[in-house]
Amino acid sequence: MKNNSNTPSQKNEPYNGQLKNMLDSAFEEDISEINELSEMDSPSAPKTARKPSAFHFVLGLIVIVLSAIGLVSSVTFVKHRIENIVDNTDQKNEFAKFIYPVVICDPPPFDQTAKLKNETLISAAVWDIILFEDKSKYDMDFDYIIVPQVDVEQHAAKLFGSGLSLTHTTIASVDVSFYYDEEIGSYRIPENPKYFTYSPYIEEISKVGESYTLTVGYVSPTPAWLTLTSDEAPKPEKYAEYVVQKRGESFTLVAIRNSDKVPVDGHDSGL
């Protein structure tokens, strides 16, 4: 007959296992708490300083270079602005462009546009068309453009103001001529004349209200616009004073006077 009763060691095995698990769990919790406390109590280790990378060095160098370029550009811009304010270069060129067609005609002094000769009004208007108008819009007749008389009247008004009374006629000279065709009411004008009597060089500008007095040097002979683009100051043959009135956004020539300014060669500057 078999004895089915368990021995004492076998009976105690479940209890021993439970006891072991309880002790292990307790020790694990204690150890975990001890580790947490030790981490809280111990001073944090100093972090190692990160060394700047090559990327940051290059980025900083680029910022420095761009800042230097910006500074140089700003200084140059301010310098040019100051220079223009001091010598009125832009304003002088603007006035020179405006009076250029009149200077080419070399008219005598006047104090009222009503006293200007008919030939002077037409010649100045035609030169204004030659210099500044879009000539491609006109019909061609060999080397001549066909310009309606109404365009000549408009350019005369641009220079001398409205209310002018023009008698359209041929303007003939030894160097260049403008032929009027009464049948078609138009002028035959050389497309690109090579002859220029004088070019304007403005040395001084004085302003009273909306009236400007220009000290204009007559430079001859020069290609068109040379006096407006050359770095070297030209030497005028004579001088005149042009009185220009600002009306809205445009200018009108109202008078030409003799000038007391003497050319460099010492000759009288009388017109």
User: Hey, where are the domains in the chain?
Assistant: 102-190
pLDDT class of 37 with cuts at 50, 70, 90: very low
Our CA angle for 128, 129, 133, nearest 5°, is: 115
Query: Which residues, including other chains, have CB under 8 Å from residue 181's CB and lie 6 or more apart?
Result: 187, 188
Structure tokens at 248: 């809205």
Counting every residue written for the chain, the total comes to: 271
Q: Say what percent of the chain tops pLDDT 70.
A: 68
Higher pLDDT, 101 or 247: 101
* Residue 74, pLDDT above cutoff 80: no
- Give residue-wise pLDDT tens across range 131-165: 999 999 999 999 999 999 999 999 999 999 998 99
Predicted local confidence at residue 234, as pLDDT = 82
Predicted local confidence at residue 18, as pLDDT = 56
Helices (H), ranges, the chain: 8-41, 54-87, 89-105, 118-132, 149-160, 226-229
With 0.75 as the threshold, say if the pTM is over it. no
Residue type (1 letter), 224: A
